[in-house]
Amino acid sequence: MKLLVLGGTGFVGRAVVDEALARGTYVTVFNRGHRGTSDGVTTLIGDRTAPDGLAALHTGTWDLVVDTWSGAPTAVRNVGTVLAGRTGHYTYISSRSVYTYPPAAHLAEDGQLVDGSPDAEGTFDVDYAAAKRGAEIAAEQAFDEKALLARAGLILGPHEDIGRLPYWLLRIARGGTVAAPGPRDLALQYIDARDLAAFVLDAGAAGLTGPYNLVSPPGHTTMGELLDKCVRVTGSDADLRWIDPDTIAATGVAPWTDLPCWLPPGPAHDGMHRGDVSKASAAGLRCRPVGDTVVDTWAWLRTLGGPPYQRPDRPKPGLSAEAEAALLAA
């Protein structure tokens, strides 16, 4: 089996690479070479935004291609033009953001989609949802409607470069009174990047195509369980102070960005944390327990000499010390 990962050295792409290596797959990655690659991987260098930046992809055949691109859809369109005749199966790592916002609770893959164009130069800064949808269309056109569209929800796990679970782990490790957004039993849906990787590799080998919502089943964990696991694994003396959603709203603290993973009960929470994943579950999606994700992410953080790498094109999530103090005072 020969796998090409377009990207492959960040968070999700790295998880795909590592899972494929563990399966004995021959792995090639294509990127600009800015970050290290796992041992045993062949690297092709190129820039998807540069003229002639795909030259390194002009030869070779691949059983599977996994594309983690999250910028302009034209980059997916262009790579599809180059690879389509030499690719057995193509997966685009998409997002549940392609559904019109806010998605209803229990929304399945036939939910209404935002508009997007395969020819758009739109990026995350312009309109993330439209860029992801445009890239899905580009992928389907290039691969003759046979692309797998892996619509991930919130992704957590080792090597996370957004900083959501790292925020909670590092904050709780510091100890003291921690502002914890309630209610404690608020259900969370997320997917460990390694479970996402396993699914797309299995699905690619089985030739699955079309859209799949990829997060854990509704109720896989709760805000309380997630933060309790963080306390336990860090060995912290942190005291979780549960704050109700109305109090949080009154202080102007922003859900999701200031309080990573958290959305107050209501439409936004329904859309993010109550999605339908029965199609993926029936196709073999397996989600490890939240404790494994927390333990392994903490173990990874502890191997670093300093703060984890933070993607420069995404806002750093979490509360400042001052904002947390104000929230606790409220």
In the complex, which residues of this chain contact ligand NAP (CB under 6 A)?
Answer: 7-14, 31-35, 46-49, 68-70, 93, 95, 152, 154-155, 162
Q: Which of the 8 DSSP states describes residue 56?
A: G
Helix (H) or strand (E) holding 214, with range, is strand 210-214
Distance CA 219, CA 256 (A): 18
Name residue, tokens 């790295």. 14
Tell me the C-alpha to C-alpha distance, in Å, between residue 232 and each of 158, 168, 226.
17, 12, 10
Integer Cα distance of 162 and 219 in angstroms: 23
CB nearer to ligand NAP: give 152 or 248: 152
For residues 248 and 259, the answer to whether their CB atoms sit within 8 Å is yes
Residue 185 CA to residue 52 CA, distance in Å, equals 52
Nearer to ligand NAP, 48 or 77 (CB): 48
CA 188 to chain centre: 15
In whole angstroms, give the CA distance from residue 210 to residue 202: 14
Six-digit token pair at 23?
A: 């399966």
Closer to ligand NAP at the Cβ: 133 or 240? 133
Residue 110: CB atoms within 10 A of its CB come to 10
Cβ distance to ligand NAP smaller for residue 138 or 243? 138
Shortest distance, position 315 Cβ to ligand NAP, whole Å: 12
Q: Which is nearer to ligand NAP, 2 or 232 (CB)?
A: 2
Min. distance of Cβ 136 from ligand NAP in angstroms?
11
Give CA–CA dist 217/173, Å, rounded.
28
Q: Closer to ligand NAP at the Cβ: 68 or 216?
A: 68
In the complex with ligand NAP, which residue's Cβ is closer, 111 or 243? Answer: 111
Report in angstroms how near the CB of residue 132 gets to ligand NAP at its nearest: 6
| Contact between 14 and 159 (Cβ < 8 Å) | yes
